[in-house]
Amino acid sequence: MNSLRKQKVINSALWAAAGDAIGWISELTDESGLQRRINDTYLLKPVSWNRKIGGYSGVTVSLPAGTYSDDTQLRLAVSRSIRSNGEFDTESFAKIELPVWLSYALGAGKATKLAATNLMRKDTNWFSNFYKSNGIDYTNSGGNGTAMRIQPHVWSCKNLSDRKYVASVIKDSLVTHGHLIAVCGALLHADALQYALMNGKPACPTEINGFIDNFTSVPDIIQEIYELNNFWLPNW
């Protein structure tokens, strides 16, 4: 990786975390909600705030300015699961990073937390995480929890133009979310990041339509991955 590419990756990672630190404060709320959270209706920079952690029965904690959410936490977890040769260690991510993450998770979605909990079972692997509990079903889980963590696959890709990160993005997504909407959303995000890193600008609608056309390759790639084709697909 040359110095320019390395700096782009570093900038991408830092801005993603910075955006998370602000976005987490203001997500899913309006001016009145923001007023309750930070005692102001306008947010320009990371600030300290209070957040209830653990749902309705959880505790309210004081978070210092710059605290990031599960999006960045899991982005770092994925980064730790990528080997020095660029290969994604799916087993390490599924059986080590995700279960341990439950002990420090901030702002996580129900599907991701349930997926991580189920992965603690000895008989559950990354390609067999078919959880179902309290109305949450793996095969119907199509949220954006995967799209928020897949950037490291693109950052670590040696040759961005060949899109070899796609298989890793698919495996990463299917560890926690079984609906292909989640997989396609993650791929769209990955291709948008790839485009930005290669061209130094965000993709326009025409290019984004091309990213969407790439979704047609997902079934073939799934069949090329041994664990997914032989174990995951028949059960899915």
Extract the annotated binding site: 69-71
Per the CB < 8 A criterion, the answer to whether 194 and 160 are in contact is yes
Per the CB < 8 A criterion, the answer to whether 37 and 60 are in contact is no
Taking the CA atoms of residue 47, residue 190, residue 88 and residue 222 in that order, the dihedral angle to the nearest 10 degrees is: 140
Alpha-carbon gap, residue 224 to 108, rounded angstroms: 31
Torsion sign (Cα): 190, 19, 126, 9: positive
Binding residues for Mg(2+) are 69-71
Kindly give the pairing relationship between strand 49-53 and strand 136-137.
unpaired
Alpha-carbon gap, residue 211 to 31, rounded angstroms: 35
Alpha-carbon gap, residue 148 to 66, rounded angstroms: 18
Q: Which amino acid would we find at residue 183?
A: V
